Amino acid sequence: MTQPSLDLVIAALERIREKSDHAPRASRTALARLQAAPVAASLLAAPELREGGREGCTSPTERGLQAPNKADLLAAVRERVRVCTKCAHLACSRTQTVFGVGNPDADLMFIGEAPGADEDQQGEPFVGRAGQLLTRILKAMNFAREDVYIANILKCRPDMPAGSFGNRPPTPTEMQTCRPYLVEQIDIIQPSVLVALGAVAVEGLLGTRATMRELRGRWHTYNSIPLMITYHPAYLLRNQAPSEKRKVWEDMLQVLERLERPISERQRNYFL
């Protein structure tokens, strides 16, 4: 099947899935696999690579041809996001989409709300001041950014009125429109633990509206994956109270315990 044909099939399945209570029986991961298939398909189409092809020839499996890996699957989704115009106003105002960054095989995945101005410019989530704080938190947990996966609910920066500065939170409609891409990312990565950063990320992921006081510091689940909810690093930049920083760190200690990572005494007593 050619790439344009595949795109049509995938778009049609996505439309049915989004509009119907009885979605077609194709997971988003399966759709991503379908999209990642042309390379493998073209290789398998070569006569010498077909199973049972010529006598004495090795099979594709024997030649090391394998199903697309997580990086391939994510790349296929990233390409659809790159050209996505589902939110016409955001597609017009963005510099670029901000898909996600990190290890496709990560055990730990962080979810934020939406790109800000810095992320829009650089095409990577969490690179501004809040992102630098997240990187410091990861370091204190003995992780590098490359060890985990970081993504947002929204892949485009929420637009701002002309002449105004700063960032705005995404609307519920924008989050609902973009959420399927995040669902695909999680389906592909299958992390052992998810961390949602802030109430907006929680609303986008779970559809739950509640205060952080009610949500944070305890385990929730998303599709059977343990989900820890904690404050967004931007909140810690606004509120420098040691008690608030300690709360985030205690949430991260719970994450480390859940991942069965060793925790030193120094880490236990650490304050962000």
Binding footprint of ligand SF4 on the chain (CB under 6 A): 81, 84-87, 90-91, 97, 154-156, 174, 177-178
Residue 156 or 248 having the CB closest to ligand SF4: 156
- Tell me how far apart the alpha carbons of residues 45 and 116 are, in angstroms, rounded to a whole number: 44
Q: How far is the CB of 21 from ligand SF4 (least distance, A)?
A: 21
Which CB atom, from 158 or from 233, has the smaller least distance to ligand SF4? Answer: 158
Q: Measured from the CB of residue 11, what is the shortest distance to ligand SF4 in angstroms?
A: 13
CA-closest candidate to residue 105, choices 43, 148, 56: 148
Shortest distance in whole angstroms from residue 97 CB to ligand SF4: 5
Closer of 3 and 85 to ligand SF4 (Cβ): 85
Least Å distance, CB 122 to ligand SF4, is 16
CB of 73 to ligand SF4, least distance (A): 17
Instruction: Using the minimum distance from each CB to ligand SF4, give the nearer residue, 181 or 231.
Output: 181
Measured distance CA(133)–CA(233) in Å, rounded? 6
Residue 216 CB, shortest distance to ligand SF4, in Å, is 26
The span from the CA of 124 to the CA of 225, in Å, is: 25
Q: Which is nearer to ligand SF4, 40 or 84 (CB)?
A: 84
Residue 119 or 251: the one with the smaller Cβ distance to ligand SF4 is 119
Closest to ligand SF4 by CB, 147 vs 159, is 159
**In the complex with ligand SF4, which residue's Cβ is closer, 34 or 98?**
98
**DSSP-assigned states of every residue in the chain:** --HHHHHHHHHHHHHHHHH-SS--S--HHHHHHHHHHHHHHHHHHSGGGSTT-STTPPPTTTTT-----HHHHHHHHHHHHHT--SSHHHHHH-SS----EE-TT-SEEEEES---HHHHHHTSSS-SHHHHHHHHHHHHTT--GGGSEEEES-SSPPP--TT--S--PPPHHHHHHHHHHHHHHHHHH--SEEEEESHHHHHHHH-----HHHHTTSEEEETTEEEEEE--HHHHHH---HHHHHHHHHHHHHHHHHTT----HHHHT---
Q: How far is the CB of 154 from ligand SF4 (least distance, A)?
A: 5
d(CA 73, CA 32): 5
Q: Which two tokens stand for residue 238?
A: 């606004």
Q: How far is the CB of 220 from ligand SF4 (least distance, A)?
A: 24
